[in-house]
Structure 1
């Protein structure tokens, strides 16, 4: 069985997930580079593996590490905390933890609201129909991450195109590497500039640490820049489409915007934007879903399948904006590698959806749902465009 499974337009995971969850929850699969790995589809197994960094490693240099990208990762790049294990991972995360605390997000919220308001005003005063992706969903988190990192907003198009190419698993390895090289060069220049002339931004605070090399600072900034806007931008656009597909859900938020907070958690569970899963290399003999695994084996923990597991979420294929315990979803992962920016992503989604249902209550699709083009060729899926009017 080849993995990733093909996707079809819509929000539901590929059909094989449900059957595998019942019959073979640690199913052997074949990957693009000829590797074999094991696909995990049950919530309990996915959660347990992601929380066990002793037996399941994140470093691509570990034998058995599943390679899903066009570019084969032979080792963790400096600063790439997403694919490092403790203690190096702990060192990197410690440098960033203070940037994404509850207190920091509370201080940032007025800025997120201002950015959202400005982008929504531009959308409302522009032509109709409008593309919600390019006019709102993408620029809001892009503006926010630019503000945090100290990246000029004028350079958004540059880093947005490179980051999308970096994530595009349909491109040739040479194209992906070229985009990544250009992004690294841009951020290396930013790091050098901030070392010489520090400002009140995250990169300036990072480079004050004398133990952090320029290479490590660039690697960390790449992850923050790419992850800081791609996932949230796609989540906002997908959420609006899911709400507008059944008008009763959109109208429920218009009638009571206080429902937005729980709706965001349920949308994250239901949509699971990181749809191809999180990979780990087995580092010690263990057992997962009655299958014996050992060093040299790899696993793919499907967040999508876990978030649609009926053992954890009753009637999981139903989008229930009032679902109790929706926040137990694994859309941001879990354990030491849980997405460091999850509080920021949640804040941006809440502010964006609340602004839309409050200021554009008559928002509606400008094309039939069947004509909306999904993009599935990246680890984070989304929409190519979302034509709307009001």
Structure 2
């Protein structure tokens, strides 16, 4: 493709559930297309399922923050390259990435997530009770999705939920492109300082939590520990609560699919995977940089070129999923990339699945007549952030 598209063109989601239509034309004609990044770098954007998985699975592509070109601006400013941040392994390559991730893998296995299932279900039940006490209508985001996910994540990591005012606002501000940059910086600094304080508390009084176990292991500094907490919170909170909230919104709109799950609760697991594929809330921050010249999809990706991969576009690829524009809880979703792919695939995906299943199951059982309290088009959306979300979801029963 001779003419490179602007990075701004693909990002304007205009529909409640569908990715921007430009992805469809790109995927059909140029699944690997030239794209101009905010800093002027001319790299690429991948939109087909096949090409996206190739990029994410190829060790010749780096995720290092030291060499990559960010595909978006942050509060209007270009995101510069920066040195590795100790503990922030999401933007590291092996062996550094391998070292950090290995320390955490045991905390997020399928077995560990299943061990947490009863606690997640208990928290969901408590939030349901809060909704009942409040009475309809109620904002499902604020009263159910956010507290469910934050309570579970805080307990797992070792953060005191009673002190959530110190850290809960930071992820939402960071992911919202309309946030004031000064507010974002202040919230981020406040959360980081609080996490450092929590590390010191745990050194003196360890508990049964991830942070205490990492401290006992003795391999990480206070800075590394604090940054790992930042990473886990910023990667695992806003994303999961957004999927949960938008999933409820989608099911209330697609009544036939909601009915199918109500009639046969055994479909819930498949429904969660289909909602992850169909919604794909992680919109456009996934990118990699070529460490050498690489031939890809008939194009030469030169050393130093950055490739942005569109997870929403890959999950709507008709070459991989039949009628991908339709929500179908009976489809085979094997291979969806809602959690990414390759060595950087979401560490907390097993916990996220448990939270989504428990949350949706609790809501469907408790409220057989759950419905929107406003018109479908009146639900306030965040369409252009790094994470697609509903700002609030007023519901009644």
- Whether these two folds match at TM > 0.5 is yes
The 8 Å contact of residues 9 and 373 in structure 1, kept in 2 or not, is answered as no
What is the distance in 1 between the residues matched to 2:15 and 2:214? Answer: 41
What is the distance in 1 between the residues matched to 2:152 and 2:129? Answer: 17
1:202 corresponds to 2:207: no
Per the normalisation by structure 1, the TM-score is 0.95
3-state SS of 1:146 partner: helix
Q: Give the equivalent residue in structure 2 for 1:353.
A: 360
Quote the offset at 1:277 in angstroms.
4.3
Q: 1:341 aligns with which of 342, 345, 348?
A: 348
1:57 corresponds to 2:65: no
**What does 1:1-390 correspond to in 2, within 5 Å?**
1-4=5-8, 5-53=11-59, 55-62=60-67, 64-70=68-74, 71-171=79-179, 173-324=181-332, 326-390=333-397
**TM-superposition CA deviations, 1:105-126 (whole Å, max 9, x none):** 1211110010000001111221
The 8 Å contact of residues 188 and 214 in structure 1, kept in 2 or not, is answered as yes
**TM-superposition CA deviations, 1:192-223 (whole Å, max 9, x none):** 21122211111111112322111111111111
3-state SS of 2:99 partner: helix
Q: Report the aligned-residue RMSD.
A: 1.5
- Segments of structure 2 that go 5 or more residues without pairing to the other structure are none
3-state SS of 2:330 partner: coil
What is the distance in 2 between the residues matched to 1:47 and 1:102? Answer: 23
**TM-superposition CA deviations, 1:319-341 (whole Å, max 9, x none):** 000002x1321000111101000
Quote the offset at 1:60 in angstroms.
1.0
What is the distance in 2 between the residues matched to 1:292 and 1:176? Answer: 39
3-state SS of 2:168 partner: helix
Number of residue pairs matched by the alignment = 387
The 8 Å contact of residues 150 and 201 in structure 1, kept in 2 or not, is answered as yes
What is the distance in 2 between the residues matched to 1:311 and 1:85? Answer: 31
3-state SS of 1:327 partner: coil
What is the distance in 1 between the residues matched to 2:167 and 2:177? Answer: 17
What is the distance in 2 between the residues matched to 1:101 and 1:141? Answer: 18
**TM-superposition CA deviations, 1:171-204 (whole Å, max 9, x none):** 4554433332222111111112112221111111
The 8 Å contact of residues 277 and 303 in structure 1, kept in 2 or not, is answered as no
What is the distance in 1 between the residues matched to 2:187 and 2:345? Answer: 26
- Segments of structure 1 that go 5 or more residues without pairing to the other structure are none
Judging changes above 3 Å, is the alpha-carbon distance between structure 1 residues 9 and 157 closer, same or farther for their aligned structure 2 residues? farther
**TM-superposition CA deviations, 1:29-74 (whole Å, max 9, x none):** 2233333321100101101111112x11011102x43353524341
Per the normalisation by structure 2, the TM-score is 0.94
What is the distance in 2 between the residues matched to 1:176 and 1:288? Answer: 38
What is the distance in 2 between the residues matched to 1:321 and 1:158? Answer: 39
